[in-house]
Amino acid sequence: MRVSVFLVASIVYLSTDVGATQDIIGHKIIQKCISAADPKQAGKAYEELFYKDPSGEGPEFAEEELANSEHPGIALQAAWRMHVRELPEKSAHFGITPVDHYLPDVQRFVGFVEGRLKAQVPYWWEDMLESTDKHHPLRTQGRTNRWDTIPDFDPASDSITIEAGSNNIVLPTETVRWLTEENHSNQLTTAVNSGYIIVVSRPTDAGFPRIACIEITTGTESWRNQMWGNAVQHVFSSGPPVTRTDVVSVVLSKDKITVFGAYSDELQHLRAHTFINSAFYVEQFSIVGGNCTVRFATDNWGVRLD
């Protein structure tokens, strides 16, 4: 009897030890997601976080558990995974396919985003997630916010003036050069609140969006930060041409800046156009200091999760 008790106790001890080791490994993976220095690192970290080890030896996290994470970026990524996981069942219920309808019944995810970020999701962002192709906002001219284009703008010699209430603020030359040095030189979007002007630059294929904050009272730069956006996944066609449309909105609150962005590729046939290869992102920054507190992308920044 003593021997059997000893054996049972040993088994329990070993099991507990393995569980503790997996917890430590799991914590390290979560830290990788939080501290990733660039989108490629983040994508690989999330791939590791959501990986299901067939052997059962590695740490595994339930998306439902991660959706309650204190870190909003992890929570959003987990909620998105839950939504995608249920897509085949939802598609069967709706009698459609994922190609015809990007993601049915997406309101629950949109509500989750608003609840965690305390920011209202732009109508166009939600519409692009849930619309069938024929009702795509970029086709129906729905409520979208595209990049502002400044004709014949040269950041090396020209200036940009933003109307902020009764003030006309000239953006600092050095700030404009930084915003556009790797991006489109004449495409920006801006948002204004009572004390600040927020400027975001549209990326080229080789660049990333950039964001800067300008104080209205002084006209000086308060802070700048690098954004990640979405990975650029090129679509090539030997037949009908493919064009890409980027959309962006900056949502301001008292202490936060939330940038909602997306792109959608359009395959142009003679009689019909089809939107393919859409991707969405959200990034949130502190209005004081510009620290990025949330990064989320439906394409996991180009790293496959499955």
**Lowest mean pLDDT: which of 37-46, 180-189, 204-213, 278-287?**
180-189
260 near 121, Cβ under 8 Å? yes
Q: Which two tokens stand for residue 292?
A: 């990025």
Q: Which two tokens stand for residue 285?
A: 């920054």
Query: Which tops the pLDDT comparison, 14 or 119?
Result: 119
Of the pLDDT bands very low, low, confident and very high (cuts 50, 70, 90), residue 182 is confident
pLDDT at 156 over 80: no
- Max mean pLDDT among 86-100, 130-144, 223-237 falls in 223-237
Region 279-293 average pLDDT: 95
pLDDT at 115 over 90: yes
Whole-model pTM? 0.82
CA distance linking residue 44 with residue 301, whole number of Å: 9
Query: What's 121's DSSP letter?
Result: P
pLDDT > 70 fraction of the chain, expressed in percent and rounded: 70
Region 193-207 average pLDDT: 86
Summary mean pLDDT of the chain: 79
CA distance linking residue 256 with residue 223, whole number of Å: 14
- Max mean pLDDT among 5-19, 31-45, 97-111 falls in 31-45
